Amino acid sequence: MRSRELSSDGRIWSNDKWTRYAFDIAGACAKMSKDPSTKCGAVIVRSNRTIAATGWNGFPRGVRDDMSLLENRPEKYPRIIHAEMNAILSAREPLDNYTLFVGPMPPCARCAGAIIQAGIKGVGFVAPDRLPEHWEHEMRITADMFHQAGVALGYYGTPESVGWPING
């Protein structure tokens, strides 16, 4: 994939310092996750380039971050809230026409639905050069949903290229 970024109104531009800043914030959010297998972060940015909300993958507020649950996928998956959803749920304002930056994986189809319903019009993401096989179908659904809803989707680069830890 070729690196490109999204402006907050959905236009593509090249290596803008504000886009890099948004991904740096999303990367800092990813470091907050207690998930031992994948640390994801997200930031929602207003059209004036200020931050509306942040999120990372983790259990809901008030639910114990018990490592025995985080390390047990059948127990973890029903409890975990993805970074994109956490950012949307943490926002205290309408998100119409805002841009979401996320990584180190693109949004899943369920998060794509929430992004669309929230009115977000641009999504920039970092992801590995090759997605895990079980994610390829999911990403096709996500891309199709965004296309139908008019949400711009842009790839920024790999987690390593922006200095993100993938795990740990």
pLDDT digits (tens, 9 = 90+) for 66-79: 999 999 999 999 99
The larger pLDDT score, comparing residue 131 to residue 18, is at 18
Average pLDDT over residues 11-29: 79
Residue 166: per-residue pLDDT: 55
- Per-residue pLDDT tens over the stretch 127-168: 887 778 888 889 999 999 999 999 999 888 888 777 765 554
Residue 16's pLDDT band (cuts 50, 70, 90): confident
In angstroms, the Cα distances linking 29 to 22, 33, 51, 149 are 11, 7, 13, 27
Residue 97 has pLDDT above 90, yes or no: yes
The yes-or-no answer on residue 93 being catalytic is: no
Q: Are strands 152-157 and 122-126 parallel, antiparallel or unpaired?
A: parallel
Q: What is the mean pLDDT of the chain?
A: 87
Residue 11 has pLDDT above 70, yes or no: no
| Alpha-carbon gap, residue 131 to 128, rounded angstroms | 6
The fraction of the chain above a pLDDT of 90, given in percent, is 68
Q: Which of 5, 71, 75, 84 is catalytic?
A: 84
Residue 158: per-residue pLDDT: 80
Residue 133: per-residue pLDDT: 83
pTM of the predicted protein model:
0.88
Q: Both tokens of residue 62?
A: 């008030």
Residue 9: per-residue pLDDT: 44
